[in-house]
């Protein structure tokens, strides 16, 4: 159930500074399959967008959730099989998710490297992926749990468009209203602190072990911080060193 938006603090009116100039395309950049890991709400989407912006056209961002929903909408063979599991509340089998990634990789071809976001999430999924796609680099976003709880709990959305606002770093122009339509903003039930903590607990049990899994291969680099713009400075420099 949605609740009314809080009052907008004066200090929260500042906007994020845009990232620096993008890395210009260079044929010498290696094509790598790169995985981005991090807690829910840890900025994976934000960092992924910055990577795509700065390293275009050398990466293709593959959010498995988005690709899966597209297959379901288009009623592809993969989509129809996935929907059979989804409509009963079941999980899509790992083998089917790997097929989805194989299909996406085939469509992208050899022109770009993949930036994976959302899969694998478990050791078992990583092992299944290894049989088909080799992960070359892993970016782990190490953001404190306290920061994530505060960040997500501060998130408000405009349901019809999906636009997201935060009173701490991306506030609406008018308190409690969408910038474009002026319609009310709401807070999702699963963005409340108690729900966020449950999601983070689940991450620690199922996904966090992937950090050791990929660290043992010497392909993972962790980046600590509380602000995506600050964290991304290190991510960008590391990728330039690995790709160019």
User: Using CA atoms in the order 186, 187, 190, 195, what is the torsion angle rounded to 10 degrees?
Assistant: -160
Report the alpha-carbon distance of residue 232 to residue 236 in Å, rounded.
6
Exposed, middle or buried, 48 (CB in 10 Å: 0-12/13-18/19+)? buried
What letters, b where the CB count within 10 A reaches 16 and e where it falls short, cover 148-184? bbbbbbbbbbbeeeebebbbeebbbeeebbbeeeeee
Tell me the three state secondary structure of residue 145. Answer: helix
Per the CB < 8 A criterion, the answer to whether 182 and 174 are in contact is yes
Catalytic residue list: 44, 121, 155, 188, 199
Tell me the three state secondary structure of residue 133. Answer: coil
């Amino acid at each position: 159930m949605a609740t009314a938006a809080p009052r907008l603090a004066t200090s929260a009116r500042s906007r994020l500074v845009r990232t620096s100039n993008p890395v210009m395309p260079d044929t010498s950049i290696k094509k790598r399959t790169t995985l981005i890991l991090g807690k829910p709400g840890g900025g994976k989407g934000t960092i992924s967008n910055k990577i795509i912006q700065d390293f275009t056209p050398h990466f293709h961002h593959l959010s498995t959730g988005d690709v899966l929903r597209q297959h379901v909408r288009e009623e592809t063979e993969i989509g129809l099989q996935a929907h059979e599991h989804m409509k009963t509340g079941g999980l899509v089998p790992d083998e089917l998710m790997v097929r989805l990634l194989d299909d996406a990789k085939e469509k992208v071809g050899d022109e770009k490297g993949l930036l994976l976001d959302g899969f694998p999430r478990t050791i078992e999924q990583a092992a299944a992926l290894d049989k088909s796609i080799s992960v070359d680099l892993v970016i782990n976003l190490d953001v404190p749990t306290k920061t994530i709880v505060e960040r997500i709990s501060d998130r408000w959305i405009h349901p019809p468009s999906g636009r997201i606002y935060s009173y701490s770093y991306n506030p609406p122009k008018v308190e409690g209203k969408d910038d474009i339509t002026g319609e009310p903003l709401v807070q999702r039930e699963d963005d409340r602190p108690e729900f966020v903590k449950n999601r983070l607990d689940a991450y620690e049990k199922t996904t966090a072990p992937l950090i050791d899994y990929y660290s043992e291969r010497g392909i993972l680099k962790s980046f600590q911080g509380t602000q995506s713009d600050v964290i991304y400075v290190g991510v960008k420099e590391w990728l330039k060193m690995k790709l160019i």
